[in-house]
Every structure is written in C-alpha cells, then in structure tokens.
Structure 1
C-alpha cells in the first residue's frame, strides 16, 4: 500500500486523493488554510449565490462523468445549465451580438462582415505550420481564419478563458487540441470532420456533454470530496519541512514527522517557493516562478429584472479587446442556473483585469463598482443600484501558457526525474479548466 502526501486542497488534490483511496492506498491532504477547495469558492447569502472563482464544470468526457457519480451524496445535488444558456454573446460596436450556433446562422449573423465570413472558407486550404515552429494563439487564428474572426471571436474567447493576451499565449500549450487538429489533419475544419468520422468508425460511446453546477454552487464538489475522504484531509496545517531522504519523503507538519512514498505538490506555481522545501529542491523549482498569473477581480451584482434592458437569454457576453472596454466579460448566472437570485432579480458576474488591463483589477469593491457600472449600463442597459454585491480580488488568478512554455514543462519533468516520488500537479501543468484538472488527476 502506497503512502502519499498531497500538498494543497484544490480540485486536483482532492480528485487525486479520492482516486488513491478508492484504489486502497493511504494518503493525506495537507492544507495550510482553514478552507479547502482552492479557487473554488461559492458564497450563499439568502437567495443570492455568487461564485468567486470558476462558475461551472463542463462535463465533456466519460471520465469526468464517472468521477462525479462516484462521489458520495453528490449526484443528487447536480444541476444542469438551462437550455437558454447555450446562447453566447460577443460585443461588437457596443452591442451584444449572438454567436452563431450553426452554418445557417453563421451566414446571416451580423457579428461578422461578409468579407470576414468569406475569409473562413479559405481555412481548409491554408497550409499547416511546421511542427518545430511555436506560434501564438493570435497568429494562428489570423493565419487560418483572418483578422476579423480573430478580433471578434478568438480574442474575446481567450480573454474569457485565460484573462490572457492571445499575442503571448502559445497555441501548442494553451490550446493543444487546436494545435493537434492542424498538425494531424491539416486544419481546423478538416480536423473536425476527420474527428467526427473517426468517432463513428470506432463506435466511440457518446457522452452526455453538459454544463453543470450544484444547488449551493461549485464549492459543494470539494466539500463532498473532503467529507468522503474524512480524516485524510487536514486543514490549518503548519508545514515545517519537506525533505527527500534516501528512498522516501519526510514531512514535518504540526510538530510531528511523517514518512511517505510519494509527495504531490498541487499548490499554484507561484506558491511553491513558500513551501518549506530543502534547498536543492527549492532551487530546482525556481524556474517555475516565471509562470505569470495576472490579477483578476470578480464582481457579482444583482439588479431588479425590470432594471436590465437586455433579456439575458444566454450564458454571457465577452468583450473583444478592440472594443476598448474595462470589462473582460459578463456572465448571466441567474439565466444559467436556478436559484442564483430572487425571482424578480437577475445576477451578473463581471470580470475585470487580466493580462489586458491588470491595473483595473481593483481590490477595493466601491472603486471597482463605480468604474464598471457605466459600462454595464451601456452594454446591457442596466439601471438602478445593485441589490446585492459580492467581490473577490485575485492578485494572481490564472496561469498563462505563454510562448516558450514547453521549456517550463520540460523543467517540471526534469525535477520529477531527479526527485523520485515527487509529482507536480495543478492547472499550470495540464490545462486550466476544472475538467482538465479532474481528468489529469484521474490519469496520473
């Protein structure tokens, strides 16, 4: 029976701990703060429910689906996104325009000009980039789809996913599936067709792909995992030392020395230097300080339904950089999931800062609210004062997979090879979405 110590208590840590215990291994989850869950934080105040970090989980694989069903007392708490949430909006010329959901709507959509739409038809004939050339996400989209689709499709999407700069993000590492479509099939359209055809031939089982949350928010997931793990999870832990001695790991925490076969570090890359590692390991991990985590502020505001002109009939609206706004995007949580606000009110979640405008990610709630309310009035027709406000400021929010990220990934592998039994895990390693974190923890 393997003994494992997992440092941190985010979704990667708890998923891995759950899998280990299900397989009969012994593990402990060591969290220095009194709260588990990492960036997954849900705030319930009466009829209002605000998410401080991720807002939903996209279930797009059988592995994630099985995992969620395996956690005790969780399946009956799952709620699925409303059908109306399928619609997405992108701001153009100050107005939210619906993103086309099919070929016909793409032809008639006012989101893109006729020349922009015609440019997309060239995509299957664009030659793939040489595999040894690393390309930014922005350059990839311009090359394959043209400037307009970059400005009014991919730029706002990347702002919504990474709060990042598409000119700096590496396509190969930030969007590996897009990179693989071009390298394996010659392009995006060719790759999508080949993938569909291949799935039919292989009789790949269909997955009920859906967007989910829980009745009291995403925080129910880490809470349910921690409850199922029981005494394995320790909070308010004082870590004194983490050392590799001979063929095992020695960790001193809360005044006692414990020995483990394996140590999994799941803290953010910027927090690794704060761990009480021995000098040799600390030096080996120093290059990971180069991973950038820009600041993001998340502000949830509730208004009377009658005070918002937009029907809010979708998931949210993303803001292209060329629109010159302070807001990165706005989600419509009360349209996506039930019981996020009183029946006669709506809840909006606004994201500010990121790589685009880091200085706008204000820690002061009143300053931030004063700045963004005029934009909400212009974009969504919001009037009146908010009936509910919840603000979370993340000084270091989302890891950026920038050009040259492959060197950092190689450094992680080198460290693991030099320190047997050590694993580095988290959203800076295998993807930033909750689904990616869960899948990578299950596959480890």
Structure 2
C-alpha cells in the first residue's frame, strides 16, 4: 500500500485524496493556509451568497456524476440550476441579445447579420488544418466560421471562460474538444452531427447533464470532502522540507519527518518554486513560472429587483472585446439558484480584467465600482445603488493555455519521469474547469499504478 502526500487543498487535491482513500490508500493532504478549497470560496452574509471563484459545476460526464454521488452528504445539498440557465446573452451594439438555441433561432437572431449567418454555411467545406500546425483559438474560429461569429460568439465566450485573449490561446490545448472535432470529423458541424449519431446509437446509460451548485455555495464541496477524508486534511501546516531519497520522499511538516512513496504538488504553477524542495527540482520547476495567470476582480452586487429593467432570465451576459466595455461579463446567480439574495432583490457577479484589460482588475473596491456601475446601468438598465457589495481580487487568477503550451506539458512529463514519485496536478495541466479537475483526479487511477 502506497503512502501519498498531497500538497495543496484545491478541488484536484481533495478529489484525488478521496479517490485514494476509497481504494484503501494511506493519504495526507497538507494545506499551508488556514482554509481549504483553493479558488472555491463562498461568502455567506445573511440572505446573500457570493461566490469568489467558480460559480457552478457542469455535470457532463459519468466520471463527474459518479464522483459527486460518492461524497457522503453531498447529494442532498445539491441545487440544480433553473431552466433559465440554458439561456445566455451576448452584448451587441449595447444591447444584450439572446444566444440562439437552435437552427431556427440562429437564422432569425439579431445577434448576427445575414452575411455572418451565411458565412457559417461554408464551414463543412473548409478543410482541417495540418496537425503539425498549432493554431490560436481566434484563428480557428475566423477560418471556420468567419470574423463576425468570432467577434460576437467565441471572443466573449473565451473572455468568460479563461478571461483570456483568443489570439494567444492555443486551440489544441485550451479547447481540445473543438480541436478534436476538426481533426476527427473534418469540422465543427460535421463533428456535431457525428456525435449526435453516436449518441443515438449508444445503448450505454446517458449522463444527466446539468449545472449545479450547493445550498451554501460551491465551498460545500471541499468542506464535505475534507470531512469525508476523516482527519487526513491538515491546514495551517508549516512544511520545512520536501526531499527525495533512496526510499521515496521525505517530507518534514510541523516539525515531524514523514516518509511517502509519492508526493503530489497541486498548488498553482507560479507557486511551485516557493516550496521547500531541492534546488535541482526547483530549477526544473522554474519554467512553469512562465505560465500566465492574469488578474481578475470578481464583484458580487445585489440590487432591488424593481430597479433592474432587464428580466435577468438567463445564465448571464458576456461582453465581446469589440464592444469596448470595462467588464468581461456578468452572471445572474439569483436567477439560477435559490438562496442567493432576498426575494425582492437580484444578485449579479461581475468579472473585470483578465488578459483583455488587466489594469482594470484592481484590488480597490471603490475604484472597481466606479468602473462597473455605469456599465451595468447601460447594459442591464440598473437605476439604483447596490444593497450588497462583495469583492474578491485575484492577482493571478486563471492559467492561460497559450500557443506553445505543448512544450510546458512536455516539460511537466519530463519532470515526473526524472523524479519518480513526484506528481504535478492542477488546473494548469488538464483543464481549468471544476469538471476537468475532477475528471483528471479520477482518471489518474488509470496511469498511476
């Protein structure tokens, strides 16, 4: 039986520890701060509930579904998003336009011009790019769907997911499923049709795909995982040394020396070099410090519902770069989940900064409000001051899978090969979403033996 030490307590760490414990492995999770969950932090203040990091989980695979069901006490805490969650808005010419949900609405939507819609019809006839060529997400969409669909569909979407620059993000690594559609099926439309045919022919049980949170926010997930791990999670830990020896790995924490067969580092890539590890490993980890994490400010605001002219009947509104606004977008959490704001109020979560405008992601709440409130007044028709304000500033927020990211991934593989028993894991490696982090932790069983 292996003895495993996991450094960090984000969702990747806790999900992996839970998988190991269920298999009877001896596992310990060490967190240097006084709280668990990494970026998953929920702030409850009376009737208001603000998320400081991720706002929901997309249950879109058997692995994620099975994992959530395995956590004791979690299922009864789940809150599913309302049907309105399917509706999304994109800003065009200052107006929040609904994103089409089907072929008919795609033909009639004012979000795209007739020329832009007709340009999409060429997509099935555009050849796939050579596999040796790495392409940005922007170039891929411009090549296959045209400039207008890039500006008023994919550009704001990428701003909402990565807070990133589509011209710098690698399609192959930032959006591997899109890349696979072209490489495996010849294009996006062909790939979508092929997947629909495969789904109809597949007799395996279907996943109940849904968007979820929990009654007291996403922080319930790491909280219940830590409880299920039954004393294996330690916070406010002081780690003095992480050293490789002939027997495996020696970790000295809180003054005690412990031996482990495996050490998993799950802290952000830019903090790996701060760990008390040998100089040779530090030198090998140093290139990972070049992974960009742009700043993002997350501003949760509540308003009297009567003072908002927009119906807020959807997931949220995304803002294309070409609209020249000072926000990346806004989510409508109180429209999606119950218990987020008083009955006569609405809660919004606004994102500012990212690769697009890093200078606007400031730590000062008053400065942020000066920029954000006029935008919300213009976009959503808000005519009052907020009744609730909660601001979380992330100086380094979301890892960017930029062009050339394959070299970073190859470097991570080389580090693990050079130092047996050392593992690198986190949202900088297998995808940034909570679903990807959970899947990578679950699937690690298949290649760690």
How far apart are the structure 1 equivalents of 2:225 and 2:417? 30
Aligned position for 2:38:
38
Aligned position for 1:226:
226
Aligned position for 2:168:
168
Q: State yes or no: 1:370 paired with 2:397.
A: no
Aligned position for 1:206:
206
Per-residue deviation, 1:387: 0.4
Deviations 1:231-259 (Å, cap 9, x if unpaired)? 10000000111011114000010001000
Q: State yes or no: 1:408 paired with 2:408.
A: yes
How far apart are the structure 2 equivalents of 1:199 and 1:374? 46
Structure 1: stretches of 5+ with no match in the other structure: none
Aligned position for 1:258:
258
Deviations 1:162-215 (Å, cap 9, x if unpaired)? 000000000000000000110111101111111222233342321100000000
How far apart are the structure 2 equivalents of 1:236 and 1:242? 17
Aligned position for 1:103:
103
Aligned position for 1:427:
427
Aligned position for 2:195:
195
How far apart are the structure 2 equivalents of 1:205 and 1:128? 32
Aligned position for 2:399:
399
Aligned position for 1:441:
441
How far apart are the structure 2 equivalents of 1:207 and 1:201? 15
Q: State yes or no: 1:246 paired with 2:246.
A: yes
Q: Give the ranges of 4+ consecutive aligned residues of structure 1 lying more than 6 Å apart after TM superposition.
A: none
Moved more, 238-247 or 328-337: 238-247
Q: State yes or no: 1:355 paired with 2:335.
A: no
Per-residue deviation, 1:262: 0.5
Aligned position for 1:6:
6
Deviations 1:7-45 (Å, cap 9, x if unpaired)? 000000000000000000000000000100000000000
Deviations 1:117-138 (Å, cap 9, x if unpaired)? 0000000000100000000000
TM-score in terms of structure 2 length: 0.98
Secondary structure at 2:429's aligned position in 1? Answer: coil
Per-residue deviation, 1:371: 1.3
Mapping 1:370-389, distance limit 5 Å: 370-389=370-389
How far apart are the structure 2 equivalents of 1:27 and 1:16? 9
Aligned position for 2:157:
157
Secondary structure at 1:230's aligned position in 2? Answer: coil
Mapping 1:266-345, distance limit 5 Å: 266-345=266-345
How far apart are the structure 2 equivalents of 1:200 and 1:87? 25
How far apart are the structure 2 equivalents of 1:313 and 1:201? 35
Aligned residue pairs: how many? Answer: 444
TM-score in terms of structure 1 length: 0.99
Moved more, 266-275 or 190-199: 190-199
